[in-house]
Structure 1
Amino acid sequence: MRATPEASHDDDDGGPAPDEYLIRADYALSGGDGCIADARRHALAFLDQAEADYPLSVPARTRDLTQLVVSELVTNALKYAPGPVLVELRITARVVNVVVWDSDPTVPAARVADPGRIGQHGLEIVKAITEALFVEQQPVGKCITARIALTDTPSSGTARR
């Protein structure tokens, strides 16, 4: 994992602007045994480093949601796309962004909720627990970004879902 502090442009209070990335980290996953667990460990290490290096607190709820989102998005990428999976984590004073790139250009779609269906609920879960979910087609593959609030309570948009 490579963590990089972002250039700081202070706001009027002397701290970073709320939407400015404080730190980001990226890593590649080969798809071997244990890589989903490795991705979750990388996410926790990233959040620990952000807390240690910057004046912010990452609530337990955000830690849990970040691990869940990383797990679901990486699982989908490994299941449906050939080749490597790239993960980038970014944090601001307000949110954690989980970005997953894979080589399949197909834009995923959440299926209609069906409590009787076994499996294939990952995207439904990610959409339900995040503030926003973006899918961007790339020249090769796609990039999915999930935004998770750094608060203990869900945002009004998330709570409505």
Structure 2
Amino acid sequence: MRAGHALGGDDACIADARNHATAFLDRARADHRLPVSARAGDLTRLVVSELVTNARKYAPGPVRVELGITAERVDVVVWDSDPTVPAARAADPARIGQHGLEIVKAVTEALFIEQEAAGKRITARIALSDAGEGRGPA
């Protein structure tokens, strides 16, 4: 099951993206009987929120969110127009903000960043079951 959602990049787009993710996971549970754990749902919304926030903050123009789900995982794909590859910053407990990519890397099984002709595509992979907790990025 896959679904895409275009976002305009305004203030409401982050909440819109989270709501889209919730509806997608609800359809996966109801229509396809996929075992989406509460943890997987929470992490999917968190990852969507962090990646869309970064796209809105650092890239001009529209943002696209694509969600894909299998029996084992959820893939969150966020495309934006800035080709710059983001990098997680070194841990700094005194730093306020700018922890989004660190958070995403900590809660996902894998994180892929691909530069494209126009922009970049970031894919974060989240385990559906609670057994995937704490694995970190591949």
Give the TM-score of the pair, scaled to structure 1: 0.82
Structure 1 residue ranges without an equivalent (≥5): 1-22
Q: Indicate yes or no: 2:31 matched with 1:53.
A: yes
Q: Which has the larger radius of gyration?
A: 1
CA distance in 1, matches of 2:113, 2:25: 23
Structure 2 residue ranges without an equivalent (≥5): none
User: What RMSD, in angstroms, separates the aligned Cα atoms of the two structures?
Assistant: 1.5
Amino acid paired to 2:90 = V
Cα-to-partner distance string for 1:125-161 (whole Å, 9 max, x where unaligned): 0000000000001110000000000012335633x99
CA distance in 1, matches of 2:17, 2:125: 17
CA distance in 2, matches of 1:73, 1:35: 12
Q: Displacement, 1:33? A: 2.5
- Report how many aligned residue pairs link the two structures: 138
Change (3 A) 1:58 1:145: same
Give the TM-score of the pair, scaled to structure 2: 0.95
Amino acid paired to 2:100 = G
Contact in 1 for aligned 2:107/2:134 (Cα 8 Å): no
Q: Indicate yes or no: 2:121 matched with 1:143.
A: yes
Cα-to-partner distance string for 1:104-128 (whole Å, 9 max, x where unaligned): 0000000001111000000000000
Q: Which residue of 1 aligns with 2:106?
A: 128
Could you list the runs of 4 or more consecutive aligned residues of structure 1 that deviate by over 4 angstroms after TM superposition? Answer: none
Equivalent position to 1:69, from 38, 42, 47: 47
Looking at secondary structure, tell me which structure has more helix per residue. Answer: 2
